[in-house]
Amino acid sequence: MGALVLAAGDEFTPPTAEAFNLPPIFGWVTKPILLIVLSVVLIIGFFLLSSRKLSVVPGKGQFLVESFYDFGRNNIAREQIGSRDFLRFLPLILGLFSFVLVNNLFGIIPILQFPTMSHIGFPLALSVLVVYPVYHYAGIRRHGLGGYLKNQLVPPGAPKAVYLLLTPIEFFTKFIMNPLTLAIRVFAAMFAGHLLIMLFGISAEFLLLHGDGITKIFSVFSFGGAIAMTFIEVLIMSIQAFIFALLSANYIGAALAEDH
């Protein structure tokens, strides 16, 4: 950041949100759309190839695939939804986890270098059009519309007067905010992370090319910052994918639960 201030005298322009406005490659097809398609091809290929010849006694490769599958299955889906119903929702949870994870990781893969989820349209499609209907539908099917609404909006155990406040809050949370926050969380993390890496990268380049004398040396710190941010981003990308799948499973589990 110190380097930035030093460089402010020149015509340094820090990256803005405009950097995410990618022009169409052809027609309406943009880079994120190509990346989304690529991610689906990659994930489907990975799962289909790795699950082609599964043996009861796993080899090394199968063990790794199984570890990934088991993480989605046991640590996310079964933990949140419960062992009775989780198998029905396992494809969804596994899909969300791998889909978000791969698209996030695109942000640090050379050439691709763009986290698809930093375009809010994609996480919104997942949360509002997939997760949101799924968990409400599951809850209504389990408890009936009235029972489900009562479960969700009138959690038992509070004094009667509190419901005047509690029920609107619950409604706001569960029917409006949950899908939006789910999408915004991963979008904002990816957006900010990519912006930070760009900032470090561009400033390092600017310092190196336009810095005079001793300020060139500071570009080393900027490069170092870009590399460090990349490592942190890997962590954040994985965690965001995990959280997305975890919260989706959590909403489903809460909708299916007998009482709040």
Q: Which stretch binds other proteins (CB under 8 A): 123-131, 140-148, 230-238, 245-253?
A: 123-131
Tell which one of 8, 129, 145, 158 touches other proteins (CB under 8 A).
129
Residue 258 interacts with other proteins (CB under 8 A)?
A: no
Q: Which stretch binds other proteins (CB under 8 A): 116-124, 165-173, 203-211, 249-257?
A: 116-124
Q: Give every CB contact of residue 41 below 8 A, 6+ residues apart in sequence.
A: none
Q: Is 66 in the site for other proteins (CB under 8 A)?
A: yes
Instruction: Choose, by CB under 8 A, the member of 1, 5, 56, 164 that binds other proteins.
Output: 56
Q: Does 253 bind other proteins (CB under 8 A)?
A: no
Rounded to a whole number of angstroms, the minimum distance from the CB of residue 168 to other proteins is 25
User: Is residue 176 part of the contact set for other proteins (CB under 8 A)?
Assistant: no
Nearer to other proteins, 153 or 247 (CB): 247
- Tell me the closest approach of the beta carbon of residue 36 to other proteins, in angstroms: 5
Q: Which is nearer to other proteins, 2 or 28 (CB)?
A: 28
Q: Convert residues 83-112 into a mask of x (bound to other proteins by CB under 8 A) and - (unbound).
A: ----x--xxx-xx--xx-------------
The stretch among 40-48, 159-167, 224-232, 238-246 that binds other proteins (CB under 8 A) is 40-48
Candidate list 32, 107, 115, 139; residue touching other proteins; CB under 8 A: 32
HEC-encoded secondary structure of the chain: CHHHHHHCCCCCCCCCHHHHCCCCCECCECHHHHHHHHHHHHHHHHHHHHCCCCCCCCCHHHHHHHHHHHHHHHHHHHHHHCCCCHHHHHHHHHHHHHHHHHHHHHHHCCCCCCCHHHCCHHHHHHHHHHHHHHHHHHHHHHHHHHHHHHHHHCCCCCCHHHHHHHHHHHHHHHHHHHHHHHHHHHHHHHHHHHHHHHHHHHHHHHHHHHCCCCHHHHHHHHHHHHHHHHHHHHHHHHHHHHHHHHHHHHHHHHHHCCCC
Rounded CA-CA distance 240/245 in Å is 9
Least distance in angstroms from the C-beta of 17 to other proteins: 4
* List 2, 5, 11, 28, residue binding other proteins (CB under 8 A): 28
Convert 32-70 to b/e letters by CB count within 10 Å (16 or more is b).
bbebbeebeeebeeebeebeeeeeeeeeeebeebeebbe
Residue ranges binding other proteins (CB under 8 A): 16-18, 20-21, 28, 30, 32-33, 36-37, 39-40, 43-44, 47-48, 51, 54-56, 66, 69, 73, 87, 90-92, 94-95, 98-99, 118-122, 124-126, 129-130, 191
